[in-house]
């Protein structure tokens, strides 16, 4: 099946924002959910569901799929609901999700106009066990998914009555056809940041559990090609830190200032990866 060009719009690097209606634990702010290297969201210990997380995109998008990571550390979501704000200020219900203690951590919902197979073949995540369709009552509701401005994640229950938490959010789609020329120009610039890495070799397309752990970029969770060592001593692919530094002149793991020159080649690891890719 041919792939669609889908981008993850839940990314702080292009101007997407996220907020919560309740305070969070220091170091686990809502922004973590849409930052490529952050650790998830935790509310303050006194907060109980429901908690609402609202994503606002810098321009409207044609929605293809939403991925929700329900777990962070020992905390696991039990129930949540997703809704979208499109051309009007009204919120359009999209999907209710539930996890039991044996459920896969990541749930994926898709726009039925695009289809599960197209979404599954067009996004980099390969560990999704089940795709669930968005249920919309009217044809006009389906058309509204092509002009999504905001998403709301409403966490209504946690397992074990724990604090409210969430592991991550990804929102895949394309820029809406209703974008103005000025906004389209902004997306053209952002596209360089959102663009997926080049196609991987046969060896690099193996499941993550068959790729040597030291070859995996901790931010993208994909096999590296050109590993570099950051000031924090973490190793990532050069393309990953290049995209990060286009908007943030910091080490993504510590938040301390850094530049491109601070990323040093991991030469021995690079040779090992090259040999592995040629297998």
Q: What is the pLDDT of residues 174-208, one digit of tens each?
A: 888 665 545 555 666 666 556 654 444 444 455 55
pLDDT at 1: 41
Q: SS3 of 137, please?
A: coil
Query: Is omega for the bond preceding 50 within 30 degrees of 0, making it cis?
Result: yes
pLDDT score recorded for residue 204 = 47
In the predicted model, residues of the chain with pLDDT beneath 50 are 1-2, 181, 197-204
Q: What is the pLDDT of residue 19?
A: 96
Can you read off the two tokens belonging to residue 155?
């966490």
CATH 3.30.40.10 domain position(s) in the chain: 203-277
Q: Say which CATH topology domain 203-277 has.
A: Herpes Virus-1 (3.30.40)
- Looking at residue 140, its pLDDT comes to 65
Average pLDDT value for the chain: 82
| DSSP percent split of the chain into helix, strand, coil, nearest 5 | 25, 35, 45
Domain 7-194: CATH architecture, name and number where available: Sandwich (2.60)
155-183 burial, b for 16+ CB within 10 Å, e for fewer? bbebbeebbbbbbbbbbbbbbbeebeeee
State the pLDDT at residue 222. Answer: 81
Ramachandran bin of 27, using left for φ above 0, alpha for ψ from -120 to 50, beta for the remaining angles:
left
């Amino acid at each position: 099946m041919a792939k669609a060009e889908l981008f993850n719009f839940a990314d702080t690097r292009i101007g997407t924002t996220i907020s919560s209606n309740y305070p969070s634990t220091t170091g686990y702010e809502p922004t973590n959910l849409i930052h490529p290297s952050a650790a998830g969201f935790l509310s303050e210990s006194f907060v109980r569901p429901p908690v609402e997380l609202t994503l606002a995109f810098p321009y409207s998008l044609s929605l293809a799929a939403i991925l929700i990571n329900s777990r962070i550390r020992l905390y696991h979501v039990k129930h949540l609901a997703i809704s979208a704000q499109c051309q009007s200020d009204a919120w359009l219900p999209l999907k209710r999700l539930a996890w039991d203690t044996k459920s896969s951590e990541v749930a994926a919902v898709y726009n039925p106009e695009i289809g599960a197979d197209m979404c599954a073949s067009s996004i980099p995540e390969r560990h999704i066990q089940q795709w669930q369709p968005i249920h919309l009552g009217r044809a006009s509701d389906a058309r509204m998914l092509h002009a999504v401005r905001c998403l709301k994640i409403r966490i209504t229950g946690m397992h074990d009555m724990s604090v409210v938490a969430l592991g991550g959010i990804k929102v895949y789609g394309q820029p809406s056809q209703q974008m103005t020329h000025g906004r389209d120009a902004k997306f053209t610039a952002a596209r360089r940041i959102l663009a997926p890495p080049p196609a991987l070799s046969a060896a690099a397309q193996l499941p993550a559990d068959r790729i040597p752990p030291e070859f995996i970029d901790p931010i993208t969770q994909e096999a590296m090609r050109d590993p570099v060592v950051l000031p924090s001593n973490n190793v990532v692919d050069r393309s990953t830190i290049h995209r990060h530094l286009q908007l943030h002149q910091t080490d993504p793991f510590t938040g301390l200032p850094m530049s491109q020159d601070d990323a040093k080649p991991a030469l021995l690891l690079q040779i090992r990866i090259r040999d592995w890719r040629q297998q």
